[in-house]
Chain A
């Protein structure tokens, strides 16, 4: 299963945009890029996913590099409730599994 690399932690100010980077240089052509976030003592929450094109939904935007070796999760206006651990994961179309890395702990300052 291809791996992802994310910064351990990031800080943001409330109401400012946040760009969370993810490197996945060993991604294969059929791997989907998933983002989930987790609050303490809760199960992860789906944020967004994509394959090749950039994606937008009500929670965030996902920008995928042309070579697909990296991606960026964009929170357009961070709120205190966005403070969480964000996981960038590749889902193999062969195995179907989501293997979690260490994620990025996002702190949002008021």
Chain B
């Protein structure tokens, strides 16, 4: 089946630093990628939708200057959490959709900001 690789799986950083998370579709071209965040014991919350070669569309309440999304190719999207603070600590998950209806998810990145 299709595979979405997400790295790193976990990261610890100091407050004020930036963190980049990569999401790659390994065996299909992802025309659309989605970024979610998930707090403990809660559901996934959609942050933004990105289409290859165009600007991401952010959900209401998500700061586009804080969560920079780049989808430069059909197999790679990145999420950069800029000037991270402890409240940004969360589980970040990417997903990718190719030419079928199915959506494939990465394994997630646990971000801890000290």
A interface residues with partner B (beta carbon < 8 Å): 32, 34, 36, 38, 41-46, 49, 87, 91, 95-103
Contact = CB atoms under 8 A, between A and B. Distances in A.
B46 A41 contact: no
B102 A46 contact: yes
B75 interface: no
Interface in B76-103: 91, 93-95, 97, 101-103
B101 A99 contact: no
Contacts of B44: 38, 44, 87, 100
Contacts, number: 55
A71 to B, nearest CB: 15
Interface residues of B, number: 24
A109 to B, nearest CB: 21
Interface string B38-59: 0000011110010000000000
A98 B46 contact: yes
Interface of B: 4, 6, 32, 34, 36, 43-46, 49, 91, 93-95, 97, 101-108, 110
B106 A96 contact: no
A110 to B, nearest CB: 24
B58 to A, nearest CB: 12
Contact of A97 (B34, B102, B106, B107): B34
Contact of A46 (B94, B104, B106, B108): B104
Contact of B43 (A41, A42, A97, A102): A102
Residue in B97, B103, B106, B107 with the greatest tally of chain A CB atoms within 10 Å: B103
A34 B100 CA distance: 13
9 contacts: A34-B103, A43-B105, A46-B105, A96-B32, A97-B49, A99-B46, A100-B36, A100-B46, A101-B43
